[in-house]
Chain A
Amino acid sequence: MSSIKCECGHLNPEGTDICQNCGRPLSTEEKSKKLADMRYDGAAIRSKTHKRTVVDKIWNFFSSVKIGVSIIIAILVASAIGTILPQVFYIPGGGANEAQTARYYEDNYGIFGQIYNALGLSDLYGSWWFMTLVGMLGISLVVVSLDRGIPLYKSLKNQRIDRHPSFLKRQRLYGEGQVDDPDAVMKKAAEKLKSQRYNIREKNGAMLAEKGRWARWGPYVNHLGLILFLFGVMLRALPGFYVDESMWIREGETLAVKGAPGLYLENKGFTFDVYTQENTDEVFSEAIDRVGSVASNYQTDVALYETPEGELPGSTNADLVKEYSIVVNKPLKHEGFHIFQMDFKLDELSAMTFALENKETGESLGELTVNLDDPQKEYDLGNGAKVELLDYYPDFSGFEDGEPQTATPVPNNPAFLFKMITPEAPDGETSFVAIRQTLEPLGENTYKLAFQKADTRDVSGLTIRKDKTIPVIVLGGVIFMIGVVQGSYFNHRRFWIRKSDDGKIQVAGHTSKNWVALQRELDAVTEYAGLPAYTDQRDKEEQTDKPEGDSNS
């Protein structure tokens, strides 16, 4: 492996810009510059040191900041495209049925929607290529951090105190001049720098004053936070870490909690309240005047049950865990599960009451109430009158081959096939009763079932969430912010002061950020210790130079 030998005798790895020992420029590119490239302190970033095997090639690819930025831009663009049309999980059916999904996009967004869906953009965030991009960003973060962070750390840890005069000359803040008593000047300078909380090291008539080195780790702390964040998101894919389901539950129903095996929920009642002019303060009256009503509460009173360990699905053996009123933003919490109030449907039919009436006289033989959840075979009205329910069609959609059909199991449009047994017709009369429609398929009847009233109930829409990754994601976010603060609000400042035997003193200064503050500090030291005057050597056209390389991404 090739290496670069410096004039001082130090062997530097290939790709080194500035001798890691004395500070002389090594590469031709570096030599041609007037100012030293202090990014990574001139150390060879790892990817530059050798490029031979496939692993090295992959490593080098990901270590490129250009590639990293390109990946970030690609993710941003893709994420933006994903917001043009609603994603599948927001459309009715949630994308469970492909044909239905395709139809939805075509019907609602025309040709564009069709193409959008066909390209897989309708489920962009769940697509393999989007996840690959995010994964590549993760690799890039890890590789870049190791590739640049480790050499920088080593370089700063092992930095030499007595750098070569040429190194000092090539710093942005530089001054040199004769002084009467170099030793006294150096001593006073050290004194002043110490009071400015600099860490002073001296060797061979050279001094290195340094503070805030830890600010240089900011970007790597920041990357660590991001990597943790991505790791947290990745954990969601593992079973048991993340649940996000929704379910509808009618008042009075007991259903298994989706995504939470062994848990059952009973809906004991749904409440939907509004503010009215009577029950509220002044504040809402204007809004109420404008929109008619303002919701004040959505609430589902529930009982949560849990089956004992080892009990099978379908078993009715469950113990009450607790009763709770789920209100918006006050979810029911149990074993990491949060059950939220999300949606509701008011007034679904739950029961219908009919009177058995003589069509001619209008005389009633009694009433019967059919519970649409649990209709009975027979309703005995006494006095020799009874009604048999032959069949029930919750969502009557018409006849097919003379047979009544139901479109869904939801009681949207209930229809009944009754047999009425009365003293006048002991063999029974058949009547088909639907809303606003009565058929007498087997001939004229003497009796009819007259609709009396309907009972309704509400349906509550709940969302079930469990997310064990939150602590990891929060920790990642906190570390990320610490890194940002560390790298942005603190600077790594260094001064090099060197005396030569002929009474000449050289002084050079460098900072990762905030040159104004560095100059102010140097001004104070110069004045106090009588150092030679310095100048800012940066060319005017370089004023727009980017700040020190390791900026936060």
Chain B
Amino acid sequence: MSKQQEREKKRKRQQIIRTAILAVLAIAIVYTIVVNVTKDEDIVKVGDTAPDFELVDLEGNTHRLSDYRGEGVFLNFWGTWCGPCKKEMPHMEKYFNEFEDDGVNILAVNISESDLKVQSFANTYGLTFPIVIDKTNSVRDAYNVRPLPTTFLVGPDGKVKKIIETEMSEQEIKSYMESIMPS
């Protein structure tokens, strides 16, 4: 009888070992698949702290993202040649003027174009919000920006609230800016 009990005990131990081995393998595989399937998209995800950076604007002032902590930042990556950017910039300018005093800032990051080109664009559209130029693409890489325009809504807590990879309508721009207004 005791032999029978011993066998039963051995069997139970074997069950536990099998379950553990299968569980470890399954977890490893599921993790690998999830990471692989989702990886190329988001270096920066909604809810992450927006990577800090430091860029110089057309007037020569240095802007550091973390200096805006406590206020909302409408972080827009753009290019002078990109059609949708041309359409949304005037709307951004309009609501920048409206919300600037409510703690919502715009930082427009141009992807490595020449000063002259960016300046003439700003003049053409009468843009007054700070425009910085990412000459080395390092900020673009840190945010893994692919299509232009791409906009990151950064809340007063420095966290990314939303990522928009398409052109925004005037109405959308307004509601996005309201959404990151410090309360």
Contacts and interface: CB of A to CB of B under 8 A. Distances in A.
A406 B11 CA distance: 74
B7 interface: yes
A409 B22 contact: no
Contacts of B137: 255-256, 258
A501 B18 CA distance: 48
A377 B3 CA distance: 96
Contact of A138 (B29, B115, B138): B29
Interface stretch (A54-62, A111-119, A538-546): A54-62
B183 interface: no
Interface string B118-138: 011000000000001011111
Contact of A237 (B25, B36, B132): B36
Contacts of A471: none
A312 B54 contact: yes
A258 B144 CA distance: 10
A135 interface: yes
B141 A53 contact: no
B90 to A, nearest CB: 14
A128 B113 contact: no
B22 A1 contact: no
A335 B115 CA distance: 34
Contacts of B79: 409
Interface string B6-38: 011001000100110110011011011101110
Contacts of B136: 254-256, 264, 314
Nearest to A135: B29
Given A234-B28, A374-B114, A313 B18 contact: no
A337 to B, nearest CB: 14
B147 A313 contact: no
A372 B113 CA distance: 10
A264 B115 CA distance: 21
A315 interface: yes
Contacts of A126: 36-37
B37 A128 contact: yes
Contacts of A96: 40, 146
A274 interface: no
Which of B18, B39, B119, B147 has the most C-beta atoms of chain A within 10 angstroms of its own C-beta?
B18
Chain B: interface size category? 35 or more
Contacts, number: 129
B29 A132 contact: yes
Interface of A: 1, 3, 11, 50, 53, 55-56, 58-59, 96-97, 126-128, 131-132, 135-136, 138-139, 142-143, 146, 234, 237-238, 254-256, 258-259, 261, 264, 312-315, 372-377, 389-392, 394-395, 406-409
A375 B36 contact: no
Q: What 5 A-B pairs are tightest by C-beta distance, nearest first?
A: A135-B29, A256-B138, A314-B55, A313-B138, A314-B53
B29 A376 contact: no
A1 B116 contact: no
B21 A392 contact: no
6 contacts: A1-B11, A56-B18, A59-B18, A264-B138, A312-B54, A391-B117
Given A142-B21, A142-B25, A377-B116, A394 B36 contact: no
Contacts of A377: 116, 119
Given A55-B18, A256-B136, A237 B142 contact: no
B69 to A, nearest CB: 14
Contacts of B15: 53, 55-56
A313 B63 CA distance: 12
B64 interface: yes
B51 interface: yes
Contacts of B7: 1, 3
Given A56-B18, A59-B18, A255-B136, A313 B116 contact: no
A279 B124 CA distance: 55
A132 B26 CA distance: 10
Given A142-B25, A146-B21, A314-B54, A374 B115 contact: yes
Nearest to B132: A314
Interface string B137-151: 111011000110000
B29 A406 contact: no
Given A237-B39, A238-B35, A392-B114, A131 B29 contact: yes
